[in-house]
Amino acid sequence: MHNIVGRRDSMLRLLACSSCLAVVVALAVASAGAEQSRGPISLDDLTRNALVIVEGKVESVASAWNADRTQIRTTVHIKADAFYKGDEGVGAIDIVLLGGAVGEDGLAIIGQPEFRSGEHVFVFLRADWKGNDVPVVQMDNGKFTVSTKDDGTEILVNAVGARYAKTVVLASIGVMNSASTGGRP
């Protein structure tokens, strides 16, 4: 009988710790994605707030515990087809996101974009994207999946319902980049 009570108490403590961790993570991420709850934001805002804009294919998605086993992080490896802003001078980039799944354990961050291996993506990355748990501009707003219609038109769609022809996005990026450089390429 003592073992059953002891296990039950241990399970309750574990559930309480898990709940506290979930609240802490939710609060930590809330400030980064505060505007995300308003729905889609404009292409101008995405472009203005991005240091890097990259299009490419997701080659791999891998989640792992951090060294302390207190957080799960997911590394998304993207083979770049093009950099439209902030050319990194490389053929591939790794984006590290807070959240993911390792075995039966998982950490879900509301609003954090999801990536799938093989997916063709268009991503707007924040100025501090290399050291930030929320590297994508406005979270779900700043990650688009690219698909091709029967007529060959490429369409970009994100998780919050924004949908654009790729030509419109490229024109918007070009106009914003031109305005920020005084018309210089």
Per-residue pLDDT for 9 more than 70? no
**pLDDT digits over 14-63, tens only?**
444 444 444 444 444 444 444 444 578 899 999 999 999 999 999 999 99
Residues 6+ positions from 163 with CB-CB distance below 8 Å: 155, 156, 157
The pLDDT of 71-96, averaged and rounded, is 91
Per-residue pLDDT for 8 more than 70? no
Per-residue pLDDT for 2 more than 70? no
How far is C-alpha 86 from the chain's CA centre? 17
Q: Return the percentage of the chain with pLDDT > 90, whole number.
A: 64
What is the chain's mean pLDDT, rounded? 81
Q: Return the percentage of the chain with pLDDT > 70, whole number.
A: 72
CA distance 3 to 60: 44
The Cβ of residue 38 has, within 10 Å, a number of other Cβ atoms equal to 10
Per-residue pLDDT for 100 more than 60? yes
Confidence (pLDDT) at 90: 81
State the architecture of 31-180 in CATH terms: Beta Barrel (2.40)
What are the tokens at 67?
């060294």
Per-residue pLDDT for 6 more than 70? no
**pLDDT digits over 126-166, tens only?**
999 988 889 999 999 999 999 999 999 999 999 999 999 99
Place of tokens 């930590």: 28
The Cβ of residue 105 has, within 10 Å, a number of other Cβ atoms equal to 12
Query: For residue 119, which phi and psi values (nearest 5 degrees)?
Result: -75, 140
Tell which wins on pLDDT, 77 or 29.
Answer: 77
pLDDT tier at 177 (50, 70, 90 boundaries)? low
Residues 6+ positions from 62 with CB-CB distance below 8 Å: 74, 75, 77
